[in-house]
């Protein structure tokens, strides 16, 4: 189900797991991630934050995202492992507040890719545990775009 960012508070009463990302050109790596999280936490709601278009452009450069935020949130929400998806806004592109969602949603766990700038100790003080993951599959939207450009 798609939920508005401003309406996350009612989910505080639920057992939740949160993961955020671009999720441009949804591919098997994304589905695998959602499946692994849901398998690890079957009794939890999986909440997916889809980064807003402005943030994606700042991170990935011109021409990105390929699909706009409304399309990407709809795609993420349609995956059977995802319980809720929302567009994750960043107000200040120079200093994204990685802690806005934990403050608003209060998930028990947050999944973040290895190397992310999220401070596990700060999350712990907020009552949230950080779980790092590695990309299991060698698939990325950037690699897919490169293959398309090469005609492969």
pLDDT tens sequence across 38-50: 999 999 999 999 9
Per the prediction, the chain carries an average pLDDT of 88
Domain residue ranges of the chain, discontinuous segments joined by +:
5-150
Q: Measure the CA dihedral 60/65/66/70, to 10°.
A: 160
Q: What is the pLDDT of residues 89-131, one digit of tens each?
A: 876 655 557 788 888 999 999 999 888 888 899 999 999 999 9
pLDDT of residue 136: 61
Rounded-to-integer distance, Cα 67 and Cα 60, Å: 13
Fold of 5-150: Rossmann fold (3.40.50)
């Amino acid at each position: 189900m798609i939920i508005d960012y401003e309406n996350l508070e009612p989910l505080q009463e639920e057992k939740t797991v949160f993961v955020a990302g671009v999720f441009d050109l949804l591919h098997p790596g994304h589905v695998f991630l959602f499946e692994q999280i849901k398998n690890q936490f079957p009794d939890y709601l999986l909440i997916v934050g889809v980064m807003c278009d402005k943030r994606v452009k700042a991170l990935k450069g011109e021409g990105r995202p390929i699909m706009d935020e409304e399309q990407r949130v709809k795609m993420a929400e349609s995956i059977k492992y995802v319980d809720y998806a929302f567009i994750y806004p960043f107000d200040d592109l120079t200093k994204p507040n990685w802690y806005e969602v934990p403050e608003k949603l209060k998930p028990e766990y947050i999944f973040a890719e290895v190397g992310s700038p999220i401070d596990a100790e700060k999350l712990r003080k907020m009552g949230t545990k950080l779980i790092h993951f590695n990309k299991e599959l060698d698939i990325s939207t950037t690699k897919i775009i490169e293959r398309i450009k090469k005609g492969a």
